[in-house]
Amino acid sequence: MKPVKRVLILVLVLLLGACGLARRPSMDTQGADSFEDDVRTARTLTEAFWTQQFQQNGRTYRPIADFVPYSGNSGPRCGDEPAVPNNAFYCPIGHFIAFDQTWMESLWNEMGDGSVYVIIPHEFGHAIQAQLQTDFQLNVQMELQADCYAGGTLSALVGSGVLQTQPGDEDELLTSLEAAGDPTDDWLNPSAHGTAEQRQTSFATGYRDGVSAC
């Protein structure tokens, strides 16, 4: 384990207190006990959070037009780009989010429900970038900000009490972010998302300091 990751583990443990994101069955106040429950809860609470954030800043949040589960190659196109397996994405053309349901459910089973609460808020982060018309020079900057937004969203939801927490889920968050990290630090790669450490750091920044720090 690299020293930076040890630090990130300590940071997230401290941020989440003695516990992390709730494991099944107590993800939300009603008790999310299935993959479908967690997906629905993550979407609903994330949009509610951003609606409030926009209102506080004198803006109007525009809800996504659709939230599309797909399997393999059957997903919706985004302009000229086809949906691909094992992916989730925000499409500014149509203002929708789509996700490979089979893939995301496998992560839910293998890594825990924390994976859903990283992926879905991350994709909503891209929807927020589109609404704010945020400009980036590099793709990796956009991706790391979306990670930061995801951390800030999750922190607010846990802090407000709408998400309950249980021991061990900080590991789920770290594992999810590590699995999604790039193998090398290639910032100029147009498809770069950031290394595991960079993604974990960005998420931790949002969790510690809120979405305004992103």
- pLDDT reported for residue 193: 62
How far is 150 from 206, CA to CA, in rounded Å? 7
- pLDDT reported for residue 1: 22
- pLDDT reported for residue 92: 95
pLDDT at position 191 over 60: no
pLDDT at position 22 over 80: no
pLDDT at position 11 over 50: no
- CA distances to 62, 65, 86, 141, 182 from 127, in Å: 9, 11, 20, 15, 22
∠ CA 197-202-181, rounded to 5°: 40
| Nearest CA among 147, 125, 146, 104 for reference residue 49 | 125
Query: Average per-residue pLDDT in the chain?
Result: 79
Band of pLDDT at residue 176, cut at 50, 70 and 90 = low
pLDDT at position 187 over 60: no
Band of pLDDT at residue 28, cut at 50, 70 and 90 = very low
- pLDDT reported for residue 111: 79
pLDDT at position 59 over 60: yes
pLDDT at position 184 over 90: no
Amino acid identity at 123? E
Cis ω before 76 (30° cut-off from 0): no
pLDDT at position 132 over 80: yes
